[in-house]
Structure formats: structure tokens, C-alpha cells
């Protein structure tokens, strides 16, 4: 399934944009904005749901379709952003997990404090 890996999808997205002459719009800044907008549209599905309702969102076929559709949009803009700037998203994530394994050793007290630390550290110079 050459189309169902990241490189294949990036190729399809690039051809799609090129054949419609959309590349002039696909600047790094615009794609970062579009990615952020699509992520917010995904969040919008959940904004008024209780945690319990949110956990069951895929039981509603309409909501399930909307979730998959917004996931696709987020991934589409993320991959196009990476293509334009020459970032390998899978390598970036793998390297980040490596770093996080050092920053958050197993055995640290779990729960809120660890998550709060993660959030705080994310803003540090790392």
C-alpha cells in the first residue's frame, strides 16, 4: 500500500496541491495557521461534551465521521508543513520520545504533578 505510508501521502498531497496551483498559498506560516485551525475544529467536536460523552463519541456515526475527517485535515496540514520545511515528522517524534524518556524517568510520582511538570518543562529551553 504505497499510498498508506507517510511518504506516499505526502506525495499525493503535493501532487494534489500542484495540480490545482495551490502551492503559493502553502507557505510555512500559512500551513502552521491552517494546522492550528484544523486542530481547533477537532477540539470543537468535544467542547461541550462531558468526559464520559467524549469517551463514547465514536458510537455516533456522524460524530465518528467528523472526527476522522478532522484528523485527516490535521495530518494533511502537518505533513504539508513538514514537506515545505524539510522536517521528517516521524524522526522528530522518535527523537522527542528519546529525550522525554530521560526527562521523565519511570518511577517519578505519577499523576497530576508529573503532567504539570511536563507542561512546565515544555516551555523551558529544554
Q: Which 44-63 positions form the footprint of its own copies (CB under 8 A)?
A: 44-51, 53-55, 57-58
Count the residues in the chain.
Answer: 126
**Residue closer to its own copies (CB basis): 24 or 61:** 24
Burial (CB < 10 A; 0-12, 13-18, 19+), residue 4, is: exposed
Q: Is 92 helix (H, G, I), strand (E, B) or coil?
A: helix
DSSP three-state, residue 107: coil
As measured in angstroms, the least distance from the Cβ of 78 to its own copies is 6
One residue of 14, 61, 81, 121 binding its own copies per CB under 8 A: 81
Q: Which of residues 89-118 bind its own copies (CB under 8 A)?
A: 89-97, 100-101, 104, 106, 108, 110-112, 114-116
Q: How far is the CB of 10 from its own copies (least distance, A)?
A: 10
Tell me the number of residues near its own copies by CB under 8 A.
Answer: 83
Q: Are 14 and 83 in contact (CB under 8 A)?
A: yes
Q: Give dist(CA 63, CA 46) in Å, integer.
A: 10
In the bound complex, what is the minimum distance in angstroms from residue 3's beta carbon to its own copies? 6
Residue 61 CB, shortest distance to its own copies, in Å, is 13
Q: Are 77 and 34 in contact (CB under 8 A)?
A: yes
* Stretch 3-32: interaction string toward its own copies, x if CB under 8 A: xxxx--x--xx--x--xxxx-xx-xxxx-x
Check residue 87 for interaction with its own copies (CB under 8 A). Answer: yes
The DSSP secondary structure of 21-41, one letter per residue, reads T-GGG--HHHHHHHHHHHHHH
Amino acid at each position: 500500500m504505497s499510498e498508506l505510508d507517510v511518504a506516499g501521502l505526502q506525495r499525493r498531497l503535493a501532487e494534489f496541491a500542484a495540480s490545482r496551483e495551490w502551492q503559493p498559498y502553502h507557505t510555512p506560516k500559512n500551513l502552521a495557521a491552517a494546522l492550528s485551525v484544523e486542530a481547533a475544529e477537532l477540539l470543537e467536536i468535544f467542547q461541550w461534551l462531558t468526559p464520559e460523552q467524549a469517551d463514547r463519541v465514536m458510537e455516533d456515526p456522524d460524530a465518528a465521521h467528523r472526527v476522522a475527517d478532522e484528523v485527516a485535515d490535521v495530518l494533511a496540514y502537518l505533513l504539508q508543513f513538514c514537506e515545505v520545511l524539510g522536517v521528517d515528522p516521524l524522526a522528530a517524534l522518535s527523537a522527542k520520545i528519546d529525550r522525554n524518556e530521560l526527562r521523565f524517568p519511570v518511577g517519578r510520582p505519577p499523576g497530576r504533578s508529573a503532567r504539570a511538570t511536563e507542561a512546565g518543562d515544555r516551555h523551558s529551553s529544554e
